[in-house]
Amino acid sequence: MVVTGRGAVTPLGPDWAATWEGLLAGRSGVSEVTGFEVDDLPVRIGAEVRGFDPLAHVPRHTVRRTDWTIQAGIAAARMALAEAGLELDDTLAPRVGVAVGSIIGSTRIASDNAAAMAAEGYGGVSPHVFPTMGISAAAELALALGARGPSAELVAACATGTMCIGEAARWISEGRADVAVAGGMDAFGRLELAAAARARVLSRRTGDPAAASRPFDRGRDGFVIGAGAGVLVLESAEHAVRRGAPIRAELAGYAATTDAHHLTAPAPEGAQMDRAMRESLAAARLNTDEVGYVNAHGTGTLLNDASEVAALRRVYGEQAGRMPVSSTKSMTGHLLAAGGAVEAAVISEVLGTGLVPPTVNCDDPEFPGINFVAHKTQEHPVQVAVSHSFGFGGHNAVLVMRRWNG
């Protein structure tokens, strides 16, 4: 299984190239929220997307009836297909699957129409709202792209993007598709920011937005909510080689587990995180000492970071102190369903370039003996890279990629 295309819309840029450039520069995409009123909220910061024009990627009639989340997902998918050099014709389309997910989905359309109905009655409800609420993000992308293979929306909290990629890879390995478009997309509005603030999971560093996302730092006080989309194009190696595709990385292993412990808190010491790490490496037939980089889930919450490091040390032993481990959420914020997909693109790029993006704001690491790539990008020759995604509800998912040497 190989990765041939990557597309992204993130707080660091409207495409994957700009996002990667921002990550290497250690630039923060976190700022005071300007997209809606926040003056009465205890948290007024977030990682919003700026400079993205949906009409550059999505027809006007689709923009009119869809939420921004869908528009960003379609854009990321089209950019990923362009990087892969793929056009979906009548021959290929039946062999192309779509697996994407969104945590927030199109709830803003539902909320807006509920408000319009309360104010105006029946006539205030859009005729588009029912199909928009009922059709999955995967169906929207399949419709936009013309993909006619299997399609499904998978929602697994913050592990959504990673699990969509892993499950889509299984379609290909089972012979159900030759190509898959997979990833996640999300956005946030006033309701989501207020709800996360009420749950007390967000950083309260309202006066210093760029320093708010602090994975693994002693001063961390929660994550920063973000918006974006990330999509990978996966292909069977045979299909990619046959058409002379640009191969970015090999997707070598994937595993998913569930804590079944608590709605928001990870299981003590990350026991099921541990198992997802081990099973993904076993699926890839790799040993821990072969791993050269880990893109950590690293949200900047007290419990998540501590549990992830505990599991990492148990699984990797001494290797945990030798390899770089960084959290790009320190710059992008937590992109929810899009996070794991964007971070999968990150590890594919690390394998190709040997450049490891930093964990910014890691001024006083709580966990000694681990190279969190604090502040600045480092150079490391990496043959195998791993990405972690651990979500509310106890969802754990891990991807393993290997440098393509075929």
**Which residues have a catalytic role annotated?**
158, 297, 334
SS3 state of residue 298: coil
Region label for 145, one of left (φ > 0), alpha (ψ between -120 and 50) or beta (otherwise): alpha
Say how far apart CA 45 and CA 206 lie, in whole Å: 6
Contact in structure between 236 and 1 (CB atoms under 8 Å): yes
Question: What would the two tokens of residue 126 be?
Answer: 């859009």
Q: Residue 240: which residues within 8 A CB-CB, separation 6 or more?
A: 2, 4, 247
Kindly compute the dihedral angle of the four CA atoms of residues 204, 300, 30, 35, in this order, to the nearest 10 degrees: -60
Where are the alpha helices (H) located in 15-174, listed in sequence order?
A: 16-25, 60-65, 68-84, 107-120, 129-134, 137-145, 160-173
Q: Taking a C-beta distance cutoff of 8 angstroms, is the pair 181, 78 a contact?
A: no
Exposure b/e, 203-236, CB count within 10 A at least 16 = b: bebbeebbbbbbbbbeebbbbbbbbbbbbbbbbb
* Partners of 301 in the β-ladder: none
At 219, which amino acid appears?
Answer: G
Fill in the DSSP letter of residue 217.
Answer: B
Residues 6+ apart with CB under 8 A from 337: 101, 102, 103, 104, 155, 158, 160, 161, 184, 185, 186
